[in-house]
Structure 1
Amino acid sequence: MNDVSISLLLAVAATFFVAGIVKGITGMGLPTVAMGILGGLLSPVTAASLLIIPSFTTNVWQLIAGPNLVAVVRRLWPMLAGVFVGTLASTSVLTGGETRLSTVFLGLALTAYAIYTLSAKPYHIDQTHECWLSPMIGLATGLIAGATGVFVIPAVPYVQALGFERDALVQALGLSFTISTIALAVGLALQDAFQLDGVALSSLAVLPALIGMWAGQYMRKAVSPATFKRCFLIALALLGMEMLLRGV
């Protein structure tokens, strides 16, 4: 990423603007969209490096806006610890130089997330099972995040099934994404894959991401979030399948 062209800058800005719109409308999806689009233009490890700062910034914004951070942390810390451990354990897959393998994993993760979210029925997890489920879910999410840069499966369906009120759910997802982003940044740094030029370009992506979020929040009044999310997930599944086939 030493030679940053105008076309790359425009592609990154457009990607994070679109990803911000998705997050503004649905409350999630910025890293997923960014990895899905940039993963088709750049190597997955480069795409993952670019999403670190915009993802961290937008998720912290989402995190601090919630009603009770202490209560959410107290409930989710076993899952978050598992996310951190799993991410550090698998980041070498993303940074290993085998772009075909990481592209296959990324395509598989995007496709699985989209198809599951489109087809799964809402369910509820009894709080008595959280003591053993949370670390397992966190570890699985971390292993997938470290290998693909996508940290939604299985953490998002799991957190959605815990019975949080709406505002607390948004805060819980923001906390999960924030810890996942930090873990991914640490994993990339330990593998010498998060470099200064990537930090600069990642920082520049914050503004279009925030503008996109604002635009998405405005569009939410005119567009049905459920309809938009369905169309977004279908497009994401098609994108994931294309990456999967390309990698294979």
Structure 2
Amino acid sequence: MLTINDPASVAAIGLALLLGGILKGAVGMGSPVIAVPVMASFVDVRIAVALMVLPNLATNLWQLWAFREGRMSGWLPWLFALGGGLGVALGTVMLLQFSAEMLKLIIAAAVLIFVGLRVSKPHFTISPRLATPLAGPLGVGAGVLQGAAGISAPISVSFLNAMQLPRAVFIPTISLFFTAMTLVQIPMLSAAGVITAEIALLGAAALAPLFLGMPIGALAAKSISPQGFNRLIQVMLVLLALKLLVDVLP
């Protein structure tokens, strides 16, 4: 039975979900990048990952529909999504087998790598000809991270950013990728007993702050410079990663 009796913890998780929704609305991804590290500070990592699965499915299906006119043609988005589905199956096995401390270290490392790549290689590009053959293998790698730590951004977002996709194309591409992964995670985590009726209800409740934050993020994307927004997110993520490391390291 999952219980969080500390009001401050409940408030922190709710705020993390709201901020995750703002980031999702602004750039089309990122709600787990913020929400999972925060929740992992208060509940078991497996619960934190499981709580985000149903909200991920709902928000990404919504964005797939909302940005359907920007869907990319060709094999790339489907190869990327298929790779993500295969990788998340392996990552879910790791989630079920690894210790909580190891999973927290994976999350912290994934967050720090993501921030490091965004800071050190902001203008790195991948040509369309090279991107298509890379989509499957990179999708697998991103899926492994998503399954094990609930965060695929170090690979998935870095890959799509390097393609220099406009926002209207980036969002349906990443949403298809996340949808494919959640469709694999749900039956696997349910069969393992991680997603229970209680977790499903809490996941449904998490949709409220996420959907509340998404229009705020969409508005912020029009009124705040991308550079300023990215710097703010990067500072927040580094602080979250350091908090997880402090929790684990002696």
Per-residue CA deviation, residues 122-168 of structure 1 (Å, 9 max, x unaligned), is 23323333453112101111111111011212111112233534311
The letter for the 1-side match of 2:58 is T
What's the CA shift for 1:12? 3.6
Q: Which residue of 2 aligns with 1:145?
A: 146
**Residue 162 of structure 2 aligns with which residue?**
161
When normalised by structure 1's length, the TM-score is: 0.88
More displaced stretch, 29-38 vs 212-221: 212-221
Query: Mean Cα displacement is larger for which, 103-112 or 119-128?
Result: 119-128
1:10 and 1:239 map into 2 onto residues whose CA distance is 16
Contact 1:142 1:180 in 2 (8 A): yes
Given that 1:87 and 1:187 are in contact with CA atoms closer than 8 Å, whether structure 2 keeps it comes out as no
Amino acid at match of 1:109: A
**Bigger mean CA offset, 11-20 vs 64-73:** 64-73
Residues 54 and 105 (structure 1 numbering): CA distance in 2 closer, same or farther, change over 3 Å?
same
Partner of 1:177: 178
1: CA distance between counterparts of 2:60 and 2:165?
18
Aligned partners of 1:129 and 1:224: how far apart in 2?
30
Give yes or no for the alignment of 1:225 onto 2:217. Answer: no
Q: Which residue of 1 aligns with 2:117?
A: 116
Note if contact 1:91-1:146 (Cα within 8 Å) is conserved in structure 2: yes
Quote how far apart the aligned CAs of 1:191 are.
2.6
In the aligned structure 2, how far is the partner of 1:68 from the partner of 1:218? Answer: 20
Q: What secondary structure sits across from 2:193 in the alignment?
A: coil
Give the deviation of 1:213 after TM superposition: 1.2
Match of 2:14 in 1: 13
2:122 maps to amino acid: K
The alignment of Structure 1 onto Structure 2 pairs a total of residues equal to 248
Structure 1 pair 45/124, CA: closer, same or farther in 2 (3 Å)?
A: same
For 2:160 and 2:219, the matched residues in 1 are separated by 26
Asked if 1:247 corresponds to 2:248, the answer is yes
User: After superposition, what is the alpha-carbon deviation per residue over 1:88-142, rounded to whole angstroms, capped at 9, x for unaligned?
Assistant: 1121222236111111111111111112112213233233334531121011111
SS at 1:150 equivalent: coil
- Once residues 154 and 237 of structure 1 are traced to their aligned partners in structure 2, the CA distance between those partners, rounded to angstroms, is 17
Answer yes or no: is the 8 Å Cα contact 2:83–2:139 preserved in 1: yes
TM-score by length of 2: 0.88
Partner of 1:198: 199
d(CA) in 2 for partners of 1:26 and 1:70? 16
1:53 corresponds to which residue?
54
The answer on whether the counterparts of 2:55 and 2:206 sit within 8 Å (CA) in structure 1 is yes
Gaps in structure 1 of 5+ consecutive residues: none
> Compared with structure 1, are the counterparts of its residues 222 and 131 closer, same or farther at alpha carbon in structure 2 (3 Å cutoff)?
closer
- Aligned letter for 2:126? I
The 1-side partners of 2:112 and 2:154 are apart by: 11
Give the 5 Å matches for 1:127-138. Answer: 127-138=128-139
Q: Distance in 2 between matches of 1:186 and 1:73?
A: 29
Q: Deviations over 1:52-73 (max 9, x none)?
A: 1222222222221224476447
2:31 alignment partner in structure 1: 30
Q: Aligned-pair distance for 1:226?
A: 2.1
